[in-house]
A and B are shown apart, each in its own frame.
Chain A
Amino acid sequence: MGTEPGIAPGIVPGIVIIGAGEAGARAATALRENCYAGPITLIGEERHLPYERPPLSKTAMTAADEPVAATILTDDQLAAHGIRHLSGVMVTDIDRAGHAVALDDGSRLPYTRLLLATGARPRKLSTPGAEAGNLLYLRTFTDALAMRAHLKPGIRLVVIGGGFIGLEIAASALERGCSVTVVEMAPRILGRAVPAEVAATVAEAHTAAGIRLVTGIGLASIEDKAVLLADGTRLDCDAIIAGVGAIPETGLAEKAALAVENGIRVNGQLQTEDPDIFAAGDCCAFPHPVFGGRRLRLEAWRNAQDQGNHVARAMLGDTAEFAAIPWFWSDQHDQTLQIAGLPDEGDTTVTRDLGGTTLYFHLKAGRLVGASAFGPIGKVAREIRLAEMLIAKRAHPAPAALADPSVKLKSLLAAEALAA
């Protein structure tokens, strides 16, 4: 058996993980992969085995048959790894001095090290009428089933919010035969995280597919079967879905007097100011060493995986800094949007023609800091992956080489390796 860090032999409460989503489940498994032999308890509010969320806005909506959750850890796998999974259980308090958490059934669970992988929840609209309860939001598998039940062929759907979730749901609803209008209050869809040129290509794809996009107009009010816009437009509909961002679940951390700053504040080891409490995934705000220590909070599957892996090692005493390059994808209408790095850090954009699809490179004082593209996965995925590796190496590739499709990105990566 392994020895617990900082704990006398014979008293081994083990590691407790609050949140059984991607980050929490990955961390639990990674603890075993890193030879941790003490007790692991994985606590989830939902009454499901840990499952993947990305399909919720896509295949869970479009599948012909009633979907099943894409389980990350089965009962057999939990048993094989010796992970105790408490489902349908809420943590009500963290007793930092006593090294224990209080559960909603009144029991107490001691910990040696605690991981907060509490995720995020959908931001609620504050528009008049929004509180009436006819608005649908997506976070959980149960939400997805409820939403799916509304998306019948021929119904009129209004999606409020032109971000990733809203646009993915819109594309899925169209595939199911709904008539879809997306309302985005900002001047353009997809916000700051996505360069304007890429967002314009995505908007074209949605419009071409038959989705009506309304941008730059605020909401006036929400009725049972209509959305009223600030310019007086009335959108009659049968269902309304809101995808207007997410709020990190920081309530427990705040109650425990841990610093919260758009997410639970952690250091480069994903450790809070309490050395025995860590955070990972959508709920945490961490400094990124490749981007000058800029504090980020990422709502992305890959980040949850990467941080789950990293935090497991950190909880076992590894002091390496978390430096994975942000990367995410969004599938819409058989095309994929992929972004690596932080395009909004860039001061210059260089484009490369991938044969009908444009790859955008974002440079800051000559250094590659981001890459983005929207197109068929076969054209986009490899190039974005290679760009991600160049970003991680803090590469300064020549703009002419980036723009020239005959120069392979792999050769630029090899040149970086030689230079290093």
Chain B
Amino acid sequence: MSTWIDACAPDDIEEEDVIRFDHGGVTLAIYRLEDDRFFATAGLCTHEAVHLSNGLVMGKVIECPKHNGRFDIPTGQAKGAPACINLKTYPVKVEAGRVFVDLG
């Protein structure tokens, strides 16, 4: 069952950037890519639980600010050591000028 949560306005996230979004004890990272697509993943790096919202988005890759673990944003796939475990991803939709995430 879908549980769409109103997370932010599209312009709360700069192009090719990421913000942190907390809801019900879950920390997410919500991304806006250069082509204005939005994605959401688990907010903490799978290597050492560092907030990915402090990391750098380059293209469609997020890089952890602490140890440079890299993940593919659309799929959450870890791109090599030290990040070896994929990020959980969450569905995102933009509707009526708001960004919604589905926490499932």
Q: Which residues of A contact B67 (CB under 8 A)?
A: 301-302
B54 near A410: Cβ-Cβ < 8 Å: no
Residue B98 is within 8 A (CB to CB) of chain A in the complex: no
| Binary contact readout B60-82 vs A (1 if CB under 8 angstroms, 0 otherwise) | 00010111100000000000111
Q: Which residues of B contact A378 (CB under 8 A)?
A: 51, 53-54, 65
Residue B103 is within 8 A (CB to CB) of chain A in the complex: no
B81 near A26: Cβ-Cβ < 8 Å: yes
Residue B55 is within 8 A (CB to CB) of chain A in the complex: yes
Task: With both chains docked as a complex, state the minimum distance between the C-beta of B89 and any C-beta of chain A, in angstroms.
Answer: 22
Residue B7 is within 8 A (CB to CB) of chain A in the complex: no
Select which of A305, A385, A410 is within 8 A of B81 by beta carbon. Answer: A305
Residues A280-327 near B (CB distance < 8 A): 301-302, 305, 309
Q: Which residues of A contact B82 (CB under 8 A)?
A: 305
Residue A29 is within 8 A (CB to CB) of chain B in the complex: yes
Task: With both chains docked as a complex, state the minimum distance between the C-beta of A74 and any C-beta of chain B, in angstroms.
Answer: 11
| Binary contact readout A344-378 vs B (1 if CB under 8 angstroms, 0 otherwise) | 00000000000000000000000000000000011
- The verdict on A381 contacting B54 (CB below 8 Å), with A329-B66, A410-B16 known, is yes
> How many angstroms between the C-alpha atoms of A215 and B46 in the bound complex?
40
Q: Which residues of B contact A33 (CB under 8 A)?
A: 80
Q: In the complex, how many residue pairs between chain A and chain B have their CB atoms under 8 Å apart?
A: 36
Q: Which residues of B contact A29 (CB under 8 A)?
A: 81
Residue A386 is within 8 A (CB to CB) of chain B in the complex: yes
Task: With both chains docked as a complex, state the minimum distance between the C-beta of B74 and any C-beta of chain A, in angstroms.
Answer: 20
Residues B29-56 near A (CB distance < 8 A): 48, 50-51, 53-56
Select which of A305, A381, A410 is within 8 A of B66 by beta carbon. Answer: A381
Task: With both chains docked as a complex, state the minimum distance between the C-beta of A384 and any C-beta of chain B, in angstroms.
Answer: 9
Task: With both chains docked as a complex, state the minimum distance between the C-beta of B80 and any C-beta of chain A, in angstroms.
Answer: 8
- The verdict on A385 contacting B54 (CB below 8 Å), with A305-B81, A305-B82 known, is no
Q: Closest residue to A382 on the B side, CB-wise?
A: B56
A381 near B65: Cβ-Cβ < 8 Å: yes
A377 near B81: Cβ-Cβ < 8 Å: no
Task: With both chains docked as a complex, state the minimum distance between the C-beta of B18 and any C-beta of chain A, in angstroms.
Answer: 10
Q: Closest residue to B84 on the A side, CB-wise?
A: A77
B66 near A385: Cβ-Cβ < 8 Å: no
A386 near B81: Cβ-Cβ < 8 Å: no
Q: Which residues of A contact B16 (CB under 8 A)?
A: 410
Task: With both chains docked as a complex, state the minimum distance between the C-beta of A302 and any C-beta of chain B, in angstroms.
Answer: 7
A377 near B56: Cβ-Cβ < 8 Å: no
Q: Which residues of A contact B55 (CB under 8 A)?
A: 381-382
Q: Which of A30, A329, A381, A410 has the most CB of B within 10 A?
A: A381
> How many angstroms between the C-alpha atoms of A302 and B68 in the bound complex?
9
Q: Which residues of A contact B53 (CB under 8 A)?
A: 378
> How many angstroms between the C-alpha atoms of A386 and B68 in the bound complex?
12
> How many angstroms between the C-alpha atoms of A29 and B16 in the bound complex?
32
Q: Closest residue to B14 on the A side, CB-wise?
A: A408
A385 near B51: Cβ-Cβ < 8 Å: no
- The verdict on A377 contacting B63 (CB below 8 Å), with A26-B81, A305-B82 known, is no
Task: With both chains docked as a complex, state the minimum distance between the C-beta of A234 and any C-beta of chain B, in angstroms.
Answer: 40
Task: With both chains docked as a complex, state the minimum distance between the C-beta of A6 and any C-beta of chain B, in angstroms.
Answer: 28
- The verdict on A382 contacting B81 (CB below 8 Å), with A302-B68, A329-B66, A377-B66 known, is no
Q: Which residues of A contact B80 (CB under 8 A)?
A: 33
Residues A1-46 near B (CB distance < 8 A): 26, 29-30, 33
Q: Which of B48, B50, B53, B56 has the most CB of A within 10 A?
A: B56
Q: Which residues of A contact B56 (CB under 8 A)?
A: 381-382, 385-386
> How many angstroms between the C-alpha atoms of A381 and B53 in the bound complex?
11
Q: Which residues of B contact A26 (CB under 8 A)?
A: 81
Q: Which residues of A contact B81 (CB under 8 A)?
A: 26, 29-30, 305, 309
> How many angstroms between the C-alpha atoms of A378 and B82 in the bound complex?
20
Q: Closest residue to A33 on the B side, CB-wise?
A: B80
Q: Which residues of A contact B48 (CB under 8 A)?
A: 70
Task: With both chains docked as a complex, state the minimum distance between the C-beta of A50 and any C-beta of chain B, in angstroms.
Answer: 12
| Binary contact readout A328-356 vs B (1 if CB under 8 angstroms, 0 otherwise) | 01000000000000000000000000000
Select which of A70, A309, A377 is within 8 A of B65 by beta carbon. Answer: A377
> How many angstroms between the C-alpha atoms of A70 and B47 in the bound complex?
10
Add 6 more A-B contacts to A382-B56, A382-B65 (CB < 8 A).
Answer: A30-B81, A33-B80, A301-B67, A302-B68, A377-B65, A410-B16
7 interchain pairs (CB within 8 A)?
A: A29-B81, A70-B48, A302-B67, A377-B51, A378-B53, A382-B65, A386-B56
The 6 A-B pairs of least Cβ separation, nearest first, read A381-B65, A378-B54, A382-B56, A385-B56, A377-B54, A381-B54
